[in-house]
Structure 1
Amino acid sequence: MTDKEPELVTLPDGRVLDVQRYGTPGGPAVIFHHGTPGALSSARLLASLARECGLELMAYSRAGYGRSTPRPGRRVSSVVEDIAALREHLGIGDYLSVGWSGGGPHALACAALDPACQGAISLAGVAPFDADIDWSAGMGPENIAEFDAARRGGADFEASLEEMAMAMREVRGPEVAASLGGLVDEPDIRALEDEDTAEILATSFRDAFAMSGRGMIDDDYAFVGEWGFSPSSIDRPVQVWFGDADRMVPSSHGLWLGEQIPDAVIRRFPAEGHVSLITRRHDELGEALRSFLST
């Protein structure tokens, strides 16, 4: 069974979004929200799992990433409008929302604001900036500097991310771990020794910045700004997954989200990091996906 080719979907406001479907055509729908930075191609990390579970996995590149038109000023909640348009175009009704890393907040936004969303799984997802935690404690130095600059905003911050985007357009699989520097600890370094995993992430980075660094710029602004919803307002089933060895999104974020979202299931993995959480826990993730489908 082969995955479908990417396609461009024109939205009501004239923007386009890059979309690709993986897994089992016609199966229960899962919408995947990629990380920051990233693009729809990172969904390949879950494509085989989707096929095993009989799911159709729809991936898209958020506004400003890949071939998707930028949407400056977007909030986290803005994604719900885009997902509604994509669902209409693709003929998708009810769905499960799954987000990894920077995609976690967007997955939760769908659970909070889209009646068609039947639940969400946040995989190493970031918490709101105003959460009552030390937001950057435990992050690698690169993330601390990046989000500190995002809070200030302005031309210098945006230029620094555009410069990074230019460099990441050339990254190859064997270079991914080194390119992430202090953002990866031993579990993630080991996960990136797998050639397929490293190449999928390298491809995702290259795709993300194919046109510019605008997607990451707008993601960062959205994360440190008002999200447009409160996690405590979510009334759908949610699982919050995180690893204690994560240097990109520390476990304090997952703990806070799990405590704030009513009846959320907290899945804590002491030995996992940011990448290894999604690559080494396929059996558990498959069980989680099936549990949503059976309810």
Structure 2
Amino acid sequence: MTPPVTRRHELDLPDGRRLVVHDDGGRPGAPAVVWHHGSPQSGALLPPVAEAAAARGLRAVSGARAGYGGSTRRPGRTVAGSAADLAHALDELGVTRCVAVGASGGGPHALALAALRPDLVAGVVTLAGPAPFPGADAGSDVEGWFAGMADDGGLRSALEGTAARAAHQETAEFDESSFTPADHAMFAGPWGALGEDAGRAGEAWPGGLVDDDVAFVRPWGVELADVAAPVLVVQGGADRVVPRRHADLLLDALPAGELWLRPRDGHISVLDALPVALDWLRPLA
């Protein structure tokens, strides 16, 4: 299938910042699927996303979070703040009803959009998305949140704030054990564009990744209990970036969540589930 032609919009937010949004337009009146990108990514619509959406008659929209892809950076942003930015953009684009999909670092933002705008979001899929950080309350399982991560250095440094996370970024090297052989096979095949995009985004907009990690280990600004829409949590059992424990935490907190566990999938190979996940969402759109 020929990938749909996407349009790049530069929208003005109420506080004067710029938000870059990508939109394939879809057929007139087509329901929308809003893609929430991982960390780091440019925010552009990747071919596997656009193609899977088009095959199901869905209009695909993706926003570059603050600090990525030409969107104005906003250090100290929250997960809810980024979701509110995208909600404003969707209103500007005339999207009145949608479903949301978040991959990895996009998962929290897809859930936050649903919590903030129940009038807008009819259903959510998260693919390898992290759960809210438990915080420092007595009895909270902070180490359980980190358990199973091949490399938790970035997120641990984020606990100390933006400056500490940025300092970590200057010397950090990717831990190859984070990805399974199945993950690497995805980069060599259908999701090669994701690896290329992530590499470019990490070099061009390192502040976006810093701000994402800081947002993940601070209060999101929304409660998962406020996500009324049905949520499908897709999780790889072999994920070494966002381990299985996060899926359990999400399910415990979501009022209408269900789990699709793919035992052999890692952090990237779980994206092979996207077409079927969109089939699950399509009746809700």
TM-score for both structures, normalised by structure 1: 0.86
Aligned residue number for residue 276 of structure 2: 284
The aligned counterpart of 2:17 is: 15
The question of whether the paired residues in 2 share the 8 Å contact of 1:33 and 1:98 is answered with yes
Q: Aligned pair 1:135/2:122, yes or no?
A: no
Indicate yes or no: 2:81 matched with 1:78: yes
Percent identity (aligned): 35
Distance in structure 1 (CA, Å) of the matches to 2:181 and 2:245: 19
Displacement, 1:268?
0.8
Structure 1 residues 232 and 10: CA distance shift in structure 2, 3 A = same
State the partner residue of 2:213.
220
Does residue 63 (structure 1) correspond to residue 71 (structure 2)? The answer is no
Q: CA deviation at 1:28?
A: 0.4
Query: Where does structure 2 lack aligned partners over 5 or more consecutive residues?
Result: none
Q: Secondary structure at the match of 2:183?
A: helix
Distance in 2, matches of 1:78 and 1:47, equals 25
- On the 8 A contact 2:130/2:247 being kept in 1, the answer is yes
Contact preservation (8 Å) 1:43, 1:59: no
Residue 21 of structure 1: how far off its partner (Å): 1.2
SS at match of 1:40: coil
Residue in 2 aligned with 1:244? 237
SS in 2 for 1:219: helix
Q: Which residue of 109, 113, 135 corresponds with 2:112?
A: 109
Unaligned runs of 5+ in 1: 168-178
- Cα distance in 1 between the residues matched to 2:25 and 2:251: 29
Shift of residue 193, structure 1, vs aligned partner: 2.3
RMSD value, Cα: 2.1
1:159 paired with 2:161, answer no
Residue in 2 aligned with 1:256?
A: 249
Q: 1:155: Cα distance to partner?
A: 3.1
Question: For residue 155 of structure 2, what is the aligned residue in structure 1?
Answer: 147
Higher helix share goes to which structure?
Answer: 1
Contact 2:103–2:126 (Cα < 8 Å) also in 1: yes
Aligned residue type for 1:3:
V
Q: Which moved more, 1:50-59 or 1:185-194?
A: 185-194
Are 2:98 and 1:124 equivalent residues in the alignment?
Answer: no
Count how many residue pairs are aligned between Structure 1 and Structure 2.
Answer: 275
Relative to structure 1, is the Cα distance of residues 67 and 154 closer, same or farther in structure 2, using a 3 angstrom cutoff?
closer
Q: Give the 3-state SS of the residue equivalent to 1:217 in structure 2.
A: helix
Amino acid at match of 2:177: G
Q: 1:78 to 1:243 in 2, by over 3 A?
A: same
Partner-residue secondary structure (3-state), 2:54: helix
Partner deviation per Cα, 1:87-112 (whole Å, 9 max, x = no partner): 12211111111111000000000111
Q: Which moved more, 1:72-81 or 1:217-226?
A: 72-81
Give distance in 2, aligned partners of 1:180 and 1:66. Answer: 24
